[in-house]
């Protein structure tokens, strides 16, 4: 009786484990039966002559063994055969050659068999749980989920979903200003599911472009309904993002629908992304126009596009250059990401600046990385650089003082060579005076000739 109670208690424990791991009834029955058969096969060499019956409603099980009846002196394998004398204790009418079935109590196999069963069952359920977890989240890649913070580490955050499954949010996938405490709820997109050695790891992300797209789908019904499509997204997490949208219904303004009345729709997204600035623009297949819109709020004077090399040269008035580049170069960087074109910005030099020279012309004298650093702060020409205070060049371009001094000297020398010297200027003035005197003499001669003719 004690063994029977112990066995039933074991099944109750497994039932509780089943509920905890969220495994369906049919699967659990199959796992139990397979576990019993594995233990039986290890003990007797085969499980083919055993019938295992699991009764989940009552929480118990039965094991029946089928053996062939042989003569008392012909017994070879007690697991597969049964003597006639023993068989008639079970069935008084049985004869040699017939098959007799008797119930086997698993507890009679001993404590070691029970422990072996528990270990086998735990291993199979753990493996099944991992397979279910992998399959579940493999289908959720690209969708937003909410999970609670369980533990915060230096390089990642461990979260638990509603079923107690462990999820990971690496530091690299967090917005720089993200800060969470244990118990707080985090929203993120399922970025990928790794399954190394059947050990699934669910990686979440809040910096992925897909996270921003899914937030728009949640906040803007027209996108969720397919009336508006997000064509491209460029994002620098926590700083700024650009989203290109297109409407298939001429009656719908895609930008207005995404922003909402007084920004009501986009404000929720901005808050979720820690006040990340979001620019929504109209998509167009006209690449020149698309690049112009991507560089908004700057107004472009002219543009030259090389579609083969995916490059574009954009010319703007001097006051528009800083808008095109943006703070820290964010605007032009996002425009390049959004359009997938390399965009070079140039000042549209008017007649007063015809003698100005682009910095690229000094590539032989100034290192390319120095020129790029100057371009990043909006200095594309020599006069641009010379007109910028030395201290500002050092600070904004993050250059050494000696480097800035060398650049200024090179650029200043270029314009000094073009300016006339004082001696040359005086000589020119002297020549002009002589020419002026000669002209006066000629005018005087002409007057005399005119007087003679009148006389």
Q: Which of 223, 251, 281 is the last residue of a domain?
A: 281
Per-residue pLDDT 10s for the chain (455 aa) are 444 444 544 555 455 554 545 566 777 778 788 888 888 888 888 888 888 888 766 667 888 889 999 998 888 888 888 898 888 888 888 888 888 888 888 777 778 877 887 888 788 878 888 888 999 999 999 999 999 999 999 999 999 999 889 999 999 999 999 999 999 999 999 999 999 888 999 999 999 999 999 999 999 999 999 999 999 999 999 999 999 999 988 899 999 999 999 899 999 999 999 999 999 999 999 999 999 999 998 988 888 899 999 999 998 888 788 889 998 899 999 999 999 999 999 887 654 355 677 787 888 899 989 988 887 776 777 887 888 888 888 888 889 999 999 999 998 888 775 555 444 444 444 444 444 444 443 444 444 444 443 33
Domain boundary among 281, 303, 328: 281
Q: Residue 390 sits in which domain range?
A: 353-440
Whether 168 is covered by a domain: the verdict is yes
Distance (Å) of CA 203 to CA 145, 158, 442: 12, 10, 94
Which residues are CB-neighbours of 51 under 8 A, at least 6 positions away?
63, 64, 66, 101
Provide the whole-model pTM.
Answer: 0.64
Q: Largest Cα–Cα distance in the chain?
A: 173
Residue 373 sits in the same domain as residue 414? yes
Question: Do 269 and 306 share a domain, yes or no?
Answer: no
* 453 within some domain: no
- Rounded Cα gap, residues 33 and 28, in angstroms: 9
Q: Are residues 73 and 182 in the same domain?
A: no
Same domain, 242 and 331: no
My answer on whether 129 and 10 are in the same domain is yes
Query: Does residue 103 sit within a domain?
Result: yes
Q: What is the DSSP letter of 299?
A: -
Instruction: Among 326, 348, 370, identify where a domain stops.
Output: 348
Q: Is residue 450 part of a domain?
A: no
216 and 202 inside one domain: no
* Gyration radius from the chain CA atoms: 42
Same domain, 305 and 402: no
Domain count along the chain: 5
């Amino acid at each position: 009786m004690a063994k029977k109670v112990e066995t039933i208690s074991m099944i109750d424990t497994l039932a509780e484990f089943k509920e905890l791991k969220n495994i369906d009834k049919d699967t659990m029955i199959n796992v139990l039966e397979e576990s019993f058969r594995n233990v039986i096969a290890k003990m007797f060499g085969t499980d083919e002559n055993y019938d295992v019956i699991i009764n989940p409603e009552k929480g118990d099980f039965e094991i029946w063994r089928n053996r062939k009846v042989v003569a008392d002196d012909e017994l070879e394998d007690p697991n597969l055969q049964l003597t006639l004398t023993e068989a008639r204790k079970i069935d008084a009418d049985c004869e040699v050659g017939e098959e007799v079935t008797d119930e086997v109590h698993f507890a009679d196999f001993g404590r070691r068999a029970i422990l072996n069963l528990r270990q086998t069952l735990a291993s199979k359920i753990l493996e099944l749980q991992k397979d279910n977890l992998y399959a579940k989240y493999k289908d959720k890649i690209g969708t937003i989920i909410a999970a609670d913070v369980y533990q915060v580490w230096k390089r990642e955050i461990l979260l638990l979903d509603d079923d107690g499954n462990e999820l990971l949010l690496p530091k690299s996938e967090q917005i720089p200003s993200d800060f969470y405490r244990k118990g707080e709820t985090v929203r993120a997109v399922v970025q990928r599911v790794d399954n190394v050695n059947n050990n699934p790891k669910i990686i979440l992300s809040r910096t992925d472009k897909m996270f921003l797209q899914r937030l728009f789908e949640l906040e803007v019904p027209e996108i969720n309904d397919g009336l508006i499509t997000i064509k491209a997204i460029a994002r620098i997490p926590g700083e700024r993002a650009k989203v290109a949208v297109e409407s298939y219904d001429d009656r719908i303004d895609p930008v207005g629908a995404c922003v909402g009345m007084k920004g009501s729709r986009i404000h929720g997204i901005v808050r979720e992304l820690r006040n990340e600035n979001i620019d929504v623009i109209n998509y167009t297949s006209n690449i020149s126009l698309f690049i112009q819109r991507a560089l908004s709020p700057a107004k472009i004077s002219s543009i030259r596009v090389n579609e083969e090399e995916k490059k574009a040269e954009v010319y703007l008035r001097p006051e528009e250059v800083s808008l095109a580049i943006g703070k820290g170069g964010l605007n032009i960087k996002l425009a390049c990401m959004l359009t997938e074109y390399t965009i070079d910005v140039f000042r549209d030099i008017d007649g007063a600046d015809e003698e100005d020279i682009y910095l690229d012309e000094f590539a032989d004298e100034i290192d390319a990385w120095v020129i790029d650093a100057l371009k990043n702060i909006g200095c594309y020409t020599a006069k641009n650089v010379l007109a910028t205070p030395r201290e500002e060049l050092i600070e904004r371009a993050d250059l050494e003082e000696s480097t800035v001094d060398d650049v200024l000297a090179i650029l200043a020398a270029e314009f000094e060579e073009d300016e006339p010297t004082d001696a040359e200027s005086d000589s020119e003035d002297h020549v002009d005076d002589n020419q002026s005197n000669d002209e006066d003499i000629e005018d005087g001669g002409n007057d005399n000739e005119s007087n003679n003719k009148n006389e």
